[in-house]
Structure 1
Amino acid sequence: MTGGELTLGAVLVRLEEREREISAQAEAAREKIAELTALLDGFDTAAEEIRITRKTLLELPDPPPSEPPAAKLPDHPAYQQIMAVFAAANAPLRARAVCEAMGLEIVPNTINNVRLKLKRLAERGILAETEHGLFTLPRPHPPSRTTGISSRVAL
């Protein structure tokens, strides 16, 4: 009887040990599940925030087209005189014609200085260079027609 009880006792001890091992493994699995559930909840929250952001951005009205700021005329009096010549002109002008209209001496140095000023005004959008060396006041652009289709940022 003693041998059978020991065997039964040994089996019970072994079962108890195995039960503790399984309980520890189950607890570790529950912790892992809780960790993964929290991670999954975070992903769901982030995805929902992105959906809300996209929806909000798509509902925003298109901004009105902005007009570029008016170009500033340099302060030097020569630029004022050049602009007065173009205001009175009814055709595009070359640097030599501008010099003549301003009453300047027609020499290469003067023509080159005026040409540089004309180029500077063209770079600023105050004048337009319609072809190489030929300058005029820019024509106003007609208002652009919108098609109602707007460009959206795709997320």
Structure 2
Amino acid sequence: MTRPDIRPPDPGTWLLDRLDAREQALTGQIEQTQTEIDTLTSRLGELSQAVEHLRISRKTLLALAEADPDPVEPDAPLAGFDHPDYRQILTVFSKTGGSLRARDLALAMDLPLTPNGIQNVRAKLKRLASRGILLETEPGLFTQPRP
């Protein structure tokens, strides 16, 4: 009786097969973990954006609450605007009859065209617009409401 020629497995091949199997398993875990990281990173971004929107809303509401503590009587739209600058602004608007930006208005009022001067005019325009005396038709462009 002859015995089939059975050779014992080559130890080098056996070890390489084990290393390949371990490498494939770890690669699969890496891919799975990276997918989880991507999902969590996306979720973190969404949550951070939602928190930022809430913070902005809070700041806006607090600023609005501080800016106008007393509502203006509808029959007295110019109450609280006794400063001559407000009268001059409304006079310029009535003469031009169109829309103006803060810089154009400062020029018409013979004010210095410095950033601070233009910003002061812009603040007054925004205040008049918040009371409905003027309209801000687009950011920075103001006009009188039509009767």
TM-score by length of 2: 0.47
Q: Which has the larger radius of gyration?
A: 1
